[in-house]
Amino acid sequence: MWYYEALFNDVRLALEGKLIYGEKTPYQNLQIYQTSRLGKILVLDKMTQTAEKDEFIYHEMVTHPLLLTHPRPEKVLIIGAGDGGVLREVLKHDVKQAYLVEIDERVINLSIKYLPSLSKGAFSDKRTRLIIADGAQFIRQTREKFDVVIIDSPDPVGMAKVLFTRNFYVNIFSILGSSGMMIRQTGSTMFQPNELQENYRIMKKIFPFVTPQLAAVPTYIGGFFSFIIGSKKINPPDVPYKLIAKRYAKSRLNTKYYNPDIHFASMKLPNYLRRVAQ
C-alpha cells in the first residue's frame, strides 16, 4: 500500500506504508500511517505534518537557535505543534513556563497515543500550560509577555491561514519582551518559494531583524526547507559563536541535528535565496 501526499498538484511524496488510524476531528481529517522508510507519520487533510524518523531535524531547528540566542528565555509560547515535538525540545532548556496553544485537541491525544516519541511525556511536565484555542485569537487577546514565540503550523491553508497574516505578526511583536524573538517555518525554498519571500517582506516591516534559516528535512520534499526568525533587539547572525557554544555546552542539550556550527551555517544563504530575502 502507498501513502500519497496531496500538498502540491504537480509533485507528490509517495511512501510505502499502511493507514493505521483515521478520524475526522471537528477541524480536520487526521490520519496516521506506518511507513517503511520514515516510521509513523502524522497527516492532516492529506498533508504530511511530521515523521518519526526525521522529526528531530525540524523540531530542534525551530527551538534551539532561538533559545540559545535569547539571553534568558524563561517563558515560551508555542502555537500549533500538537504532536508535542517542539514542546519536548523547549523543555530541554531551563525555561519556567512553556505555553502550547493548539486548536485541535485530537491532534494532541492521538499523537501521544500513536507517536509517543514526539512528546516524550512533555505534556505532563509541570512547566507546560496547554491551551486549546486558535493561536491567532490567543495572541490577540493575551496580556502575558513571552521571551520566545514558536509557530509550528501547517502550510497556509484553511484555519492555519490566519497564522501567516501581517496582523498576526504585529500582535506577536507586541506580546514579546524587549529581547523577544519568534520563528516559523516557511516551506520548501524550491517548491514554495513565495512563502519565504512573502513572510520575509511582511516581517521586515515589523521586526528590526529578520533572518531566514535553512535545514533539509526529507519528509518536507523539495530540498532546503526554510524558517524565518523575527527579532526585536538581537540580530541572530551577529551573536558571537563563542557565546552560543558556551550556552550550548552549559545547557547540556542532547541534540541529534543541532550544534553551534549548524546554528550559524543554517543562516547562510545561497544566492538564489539572498535575492528572495531582501
Q: Is 222 an interacting residue with respect to ligand SAM (CB under 6 A)? A: no
**Shortest distance in whole angstroms from residue 271 CB to ligand SAM:** 26
Q: Is 154 an interacting residue with respect to ligand SAM (CB under 6 A)? A: yes
- How far is the C-alpha of 52 from the C-alpha of 49, rounded, in Å? 10
- The DSSP element (H or E) to which 7 belongs, if any, is none
**Shortest distance in whole angstroms from residue 240 CB to ligand SAM:** 30
| Residue from 104, 147, 152, 155 carrying the catalytic annotation | 152
Query: Which of 43, 51, 101, 244 is close enough to bind ligand SAM by CB under 6 A?
Result: 101
**Toward ligand SAM, which CB reaches closer, 82 or 230?**
82
Q: Is 43 an interacting residue with respect to ligand SAM (CB under 6 A)? A: no
Q: Is 31 an interacting residue with respect to ligand SAM (CB under 6 A)? A: no
User: Strand, coil or helix: what is 119?
Assistant: helix
> Nearest CA to 135 among 81, 84, 194?
81
CB 84 within 8 A of CB 111: yes
Q: Report the residue number whose CB is nearest to ligand SAM.
A: 80
**Shortest distance in whole angstroms from residue 246 CB to ligand SAM:** 30
Mind telling me the catalytic residues?
152
Binding site for ligand SAM (CB under 6 A): 44, 49-50, 58, 79-83, 101-104, 107, 134-136, 152-154, 159-160, 162-163, 185
